[in-house]
Structure 1
Amino acid sequence: MVCMNGNQIEGLIGMLTTLGILVLLILPSLLGALRERRIDRQLRQAARQPGPHAEPAPQDRPRTRRHGAARPA
């Protein structure tokens, strides 16, 4: 059985406290980075697969007539 003296226990508590504070400081940044990656992946997927609100291609659009206006060059 390993017995720890008071100094070793104090050192262990200090080390665990420091590790806990480090985790609390890094966790929000890590979660934000993961969220950004998920959003980027969703945007790339949406760009590859046009949905029902996508604009029709130029050849699929109905031609409109301009009355009284000069034709653009």
Structure 2
Amino acid sequence: MYKSDVLKHFGGTSKAASALDISHSAVCQWGKIIPEKQAMKVERITKGKIKYVPSMYEKTNTAGAQP
């Protein structure tokens, strides 16, 4: 889930933080893609208007994989 979509939906950083019951600074620390736990919460509280997409959070790191 993209940070920009969440901020647009809620109307800014402070309002998103309030809706998610987290600090303003926590939202400011998000990267382009928000943390998975918060993405699931956003989908729930927006009643699916913003979708949690599990594939965005799949690990693609193959380091250490056996050939």
TM-score interval w.r.t. the shorter chain?
under 0.3
TM-score (norm 1): 0.19
Give the TM-score, by structure 2 length. Answer: 0.20
Which protein, 1 or 2, shows the higher relative CO under an 8 Å CA cutoff with sep ≥ 6?
Answer: 2
**Which has the larger share of helix?**
1
